Structure 1
Amino acid sequence: MTSLTESFKNVGVSRAYGEPIRLDGKELVPVALVSFGFGGGTEGGDPDAAGSGGGGGGFVFPLGVYTHDDGGRLTFRPNPLSLTACLVPLVCAVGFALRGALRARR
């Protein structure tokens, strides 16, 4: 457990915002949604029991980049693929809600 704690000490803001990249004379700062989770357990709460274990996992979801626009202002440019992936559940939820409202109206 201690080794897991040490290896994931820096997970957070430093992982969500990547190192600045220069591309075509512009500086880009990548932004991502980062999530990690860990768990463990034992059989019946007994730490010496044969049925004990643990695990963990995580994901990194690229959201877009921060860059300067032509006027020099800092702007966020979303990743179109990620934006689409985030909007699909929202559009489905709105569709189901509208369908339920129309059925209730009948």
Structure 2
Amino acid sequence: MPNIAIELGKLSGNLGVTAAYGEQQDLDGVKVLPVAAAWSGFGGGSDEAGNGGGGGGGFSLPVGAYVRRGSEFRFAPNPVTLILVLTPFVCVAGRALGYVVKSLKKTRR
């Protein structure tokens, strides 16, 4: 029986960008290289009787793509991911700004 941990390790290397976007694409001289953040985890075990089991899972978040046109190279973010990441930041920054304004008002009295 092959070592399952090694086989799962080889498989998990392809879960990120390939699962979210696919491979690099060449479109009319424009190269598009996808970017994704990926997490994965696997586990397994057995008892004294030899009964065993395992499982795993993963998550891949498409972040954007690097686009190359000739000598120009730029990053094009995924707008949905950008909104999901910035929403909590804007909420926390707005709340912190409210506390700053409130404390400034108290010190002027």
Give yes or no for contact 2:16–2:38 (8 Å, CA) kept in 1. Answer: yes
Superposed, 1:45-60 pairs within 5 Å as 56-60=56-60
Deviation for aligned residue 1:4: 4.8
2 CA distance for matches of 1:103 and 1:54?
Answer: 54
Give yes or no for contact 1:12–1:34 (8 Å, CA) kept in 2. Answer: no
User: Based on CA coordinates, which of the two structures has the bigger radius of gyration?
Assistant: 2
Counterpart secondary structure, 1:68 = strand
Structure 2: tracts of 5 or more residues without a match: none
Deviations 1:29-48 (A, max 9, x none): 1110111234679xxxxx66
Q: TM-score, normalised by structure 1?
A: 0.65
Number of matched pairs: 98
Deviations 1:37-92 (A, max 9, x none): 34679xxxxx66xxxx87543211101111114x5222111111111111111101
Q: Does 2:89 match 1:90?
A: yes
Q: TM-score, normalised by structure 2?
A: 0.63
Over the residues paired in the alignment, what is the CA RMSD in angstroms? 3.4
1:36 to 33, 36, 40: 40
Structure 1: tracts of 5 or more residues without a match: 42-46
Deviates more, 1:85-94 or 1:54-63: 54-63
Q: Does 2:18 match 1:19?
A: no
Amino acid at match of 2:84: A
Counterpart secondary structure, 1:8 = helix
Give yes or no for contact 2:16–2:39 (8 Å, CA) kept in 1. Answer: no
Structure 1 residues 39 and 11, CA, compared in 2 at 3 Å: closer, same or farther?
closer
